[in-house]
Chain A
Amino acid sequence: MHKEKDIISGCLSGSRRDQELLYRRYAPRLYAVCLQYAGNTEEARDVLQEGFIKIFENLSRFSHEGSFEGWMRRIIVNTALERYRNRYYLTRVDDIDDVTEPEADPENNDFAGLAAFDLLNMIMELPPKYRMVFNLYAIEGYSHKEIGEMVGISEGTSKSNLSRAREILQKKVMILTGVTRRLVNV
């Protein structure tokens, strides 16, 4: 098994073999990320291709201090974000400043059995603006302020988009699992 560091140095020396090795190793995981953000396979494929070109172009800047996969993931997310910004005109919705964040309940694993593919499909079916904010907030862990700067919307818009995205996803989850009681107080 080739070490990650060896593959990176091989890529930096121009070895096409190592570049392919790196691609084969990480492309499946990063393609899943692309699908989360892109919403359809065609767009995801373009994001993956563009993202890997950027990864190779900027590989010499990777400092080997953090996670390499995390570094690549950020490039992919930024690529998706860039394409999103160029493609969609963001419709401003009313800012909601007083949206209360749901309390995290790590022990609530009733939906843990959901297949990853189902979850991915649910995200892909979200409207682009909701999908983008949900991914950045819930999956990547950015704050609303950061999302606002990244996407070019206000913090309030980010919150309202997130709220709407959660609402839609919850309904889909309930429908898929047949669990309706989760919509009410537990």
Chain B
Amino acid sequence: MFDREPNIDIVFRNGLKNMEVLPPADVWDNIPPMPVRPSRFRIITGIAAGVAALVSLTLLATWYIRSNTIGNTQTELILAGGELQAVTIDGNATLADAPLAEESARVIIMQAAPPQARALANEAVLSMPAEEPLPLLASADMPPSEEKNDESVTLSPDDITIITSGRLPGVEEGLKTVLTPGSGVTAGQRFMVGASVSPAMGLSPGGQDIRLSELMNSEKSRPSYSTGLTFGYKISNRLTIQSGIGLASIGQTISGVDVFAGLSGFYAVKSSYLYSVETAAGLILAGNTDLYLADSKDRVGTLIQGNAADPSKYQLTQVGDDIRQVFRYLELPLVLRYKVIDSKVGLNLSGGVAYGFLVDNMAYTGEGSDMITVGHTEGINPHNLSSQLGLGMEYNISKKISFNLEPVFRYYMTPLSDISGPLYKPYSVGVFSGFFFKF
């Protein structure tokens, strides 16, 4: 046999090394988009958005349950012979089942507001005309009222039912007089309209994406804001549903990109843009072809090929060293607002969503009169959905006018851009403030 052979293995190994064959063109089309595993940040913000939605639903459910259980379990204050007694009526019993003497007055009060009710009842007792003693109907003890307040107590007519019988003709009227709310909301003030502004500081998630993190190292969120008209409807004393129309603006500054003007004097343009800048929000296409863009971080791309031109050698004028991206959305919010504390200075909890339509997508450099449009950002989603959660103060300036000041956390549930991927979902922390007129 042969003691040596040409090593066929090496011939093939070396021969095929680095060999390339173009695959059929349609293979790529049959490869589905890569599944994205959610980062820890997305999970946390997702939970926050979920909590916001849950809070809203809980508030709505609470209101619904409360509005359907009034009368099932109630405290009955019985005015008899100028004395006040209390008795609890079972949930399934009707008012007719409750013992009632011929000469007495009953004030049926929800259990949710017993302190005020007691105070009011005492007021009623005091205002009752002196009559001959009436028999007691129940022996339950009524604790002494400490919340008695001669000035004002907030209770709506929905919360209190007055039933009279017997020989106490002046009682109901007297009670009604006493029960007239001081600063509370009357049944007529169910609607509200107002103007609001929410300055905010935008923040952007980096997550585990290395490239996004690198890009965002040289990007700084610009102060964002949203303004608009808000309309509200008071579902109950504590719960209000709000909607309206607003304009929201978010943006960022990309630093380290030098912008020079005057390129069109040296280079004949054949395309709709010459330069692009990679950003976390998407690719800026510089439609202003008079501009030459340069940076040292491998973010700027150009369509100028090879030796076709070298703008760095031209006499150009620097007009900026950063680029600002601005996106404006026309927004339709839907917010539920719950009064946690209902008084002159109240505390509100709010949660809701807003659907936005992109109305402006601009990239520029310079400020004021020196502002020069660079172009636009490619691939920005024309719609977005954001959720918000807020906890803040409501100051009732008068019966009809209130002022709100409310820190709000806002999270964009849909990605800002299709191109940069689903991880780039900005969020913001701002202060919702506005005046509301109730009618």
Binding site for B on A (CB under 8 A): 3, 5-6, 9-20, 23-24, 27-29, 31-32, 34-36, 41, 45, 48-49, 52-53, 56-57, 59-60, 102-106, 108, 110-112, 114-117, 119-120, 122-123, 134, 137-139, 166, 169-170, 173, 182-186
Contact = CB atoms under 8 A, between A and B. Distances in A.
Interface in B401-428: 418-424
A145 to B, nearest CB: 17
Contacts of A116: 15-16, 19
A11 B212 CA distance: 11
A119 B16 contact: yes
A48 B6 contact: no
Contacts of B19: 29, 32, 116-117, 120
A183 B5 CA distance: 7
Contact of B20 (A10, A15, A29, A60): A29
B266 to A, nearest CB: 25
Interface of B: 2-16, 18-24, 27-28, 30-37, 207-212, 214, 298, 418-424
A134 B423 CA distance: 44
Given A11-B34, A13-B421, A119-B16, A31 B11 contact: no
Given A9-B211, A173-B11, A28 B20 contact: yes
Contacts of A16: 33-34, 418-419
A119 B4 CA distance: 21
A27 B6 contact: no
Contacts of A5: 210-211
Contact of A103 (B4, B14, B15, B35): B4
A57 B34 contact: yes
Given A32-B20, A170-B5, A17 B419 contact: yes
A161 to B, nearest CB: 14
A124 to B, nearest CB: 11
Contacts of A45: 23-24, 27
B211 A56 contact: no
B430 to A, nearest CB: 26
B21 A31 contact: yes
B419 A15 contact: yes
Contacts of A120: 16, 19, 21
A119 B15 contact: yes
Nearest to B32: A53
Given A31-B23, A105-B7, A14 B422 contact: yes
B34 A27 contact: no
Given A15-B421, A185-B4, A138 B212 contact: no
Contacts of B28: 20, 23-24, 27
A10 B5 contact: no
19 contacts: A9-B211, A10-B211, A13-B207, A14-B33, A14-B422, A15-B419, A15-B421, A18-B211, A28-B20, A56-B35, A105-B4, A112-B11, A114-B15, A119-B15, A123-B12, A138-B9, A166-B8, A182-B6, A186-B6
A164 B39 CA distance: 51
Given A16-B33, A120-B16, A169 B8 contact: yes
B419 to A, nearest CB: 6
B412 to A, nearest CB: 16
Nearest to B5: A102
Contacts of A123: 12, 16
Nearest to A36: B16
Nearest to A123: B12
A35 to B, nearest CB: 6
A56 B418 CA distance: 18
Contacts of B23: 27-28, 31, 34, 45, 48
A59 B209 CA distance: 13
Contacts of B33: 14, 16, 19
Given A28-B22, A104-B9, A139-B12, A49 B30 contact: yes
A173 B34 CA distance: 42
Contacts of B4: 102-103, 105, 185-186
Given A31-B23, A45-B24, A13 B11 contact: no
Nearest to A113: B15
List the 4 closest A-B pairs by CB distance, nearest first.
Answer: A28-B20, A138-B9, A56-B34, A14-B421
B15 A138 contact: no
Given A14-B422, A32-B21, A106-B7, 6 more contacts: A19-B33, A28-B21, A108-B10, A123-B12, A170-B8, A185-B3
Contacts of A104: 7, 9-10
